Amino acid sequence: MSIDIKIENENELFEKYKELFVHKDNIRISLMGFGFAVGDGWYDLVRLCCEKIKNAVDQHNEKYDTFHNRVKGTTNEKHWHNPPKNKVEYPQVAQVKEKFGGLRFYTNGCDAEIYESIQGALDFAESMSFTICEDCGNKGKLREDRPWIKTLCDKCYEVKNID
């Protein structure tokens, strides 16, 4: 049984968040060409991370455009606190993997301000991953009594132990 995110789900992420996977076919820069190295049970968590990153960049850049094209020089300017000084690039998803039973989501080239606004969501996804079966997405828990520590539901845990 394959543990990876289903190929159709993987392709959906690559398509919907293509700005985050520009280098996915260049293995010198990104490991994403090999796909997401986590089970399909964590698909929603991975999608949440991608969504959060894309939104953070889009909102930052829209705010920049609004301020510099419509607000700057008008009487509304004084109501804006810390308007964005520059537009930012999308960070690149470098690697998504399981480590010690939890989800790890690594990016490259993330603007510091963007990183600050997404860090909470990435941490949240990691802590949630310890409660969700990596294989099937049902309620799971960390299984440390196996050769490879994994977060699994009771059913997948039994199946894995028979294999």
Residues that bind Zn ion (CB under 5 A): 133, 135-136, 138, 153, 156
**Minimum distance from residue 7 beta carbon to Zn ion (Å):** 19
Nearest residue (CB) to Zn ion, 67 versus 130: 130
Closer by beta carbon to Zn ion, 96 or else 134: 134
Write down the least CB distance from residue 157 to Zn ion, Å. 7
State how far the Cα of 96 lies from the Cα of 115, in Å rounded to an integer.
16
SS3 of residue 125 by DSSP: helix
Nearer to Zn ion, 35 or 137 (CB): 137
Nearest to Zn ion of 32, 153 (CB atom) = 153
Closest CB 133 distance from Zn ion, rounded Å: 3
Nearer to Zn ion, 94 or 153 (CB): 153
DSSP code, position 113: H
CA distances from 57 to 64, 111, 114 (A): 11, 9, 7
Q: Are 52 and 121 in contact (CB under 8 A)?
A: yes
In angstroms, give the least distance from the CB of 123 to Zn ion.
23
In angstroms, give the least distance from the CB of 106 to Zn ion.
Answer: 25
Label residues 80-98 b or e (16+ Cβ within 10 Å = b).
eeeebeeebebbbbbebeb
Rounded to whole angstroms, how far apart are CA atoms 95 and 108? 9
| E runs forming strands in the chain | 92-99, 102-108, 141-143, 150-152
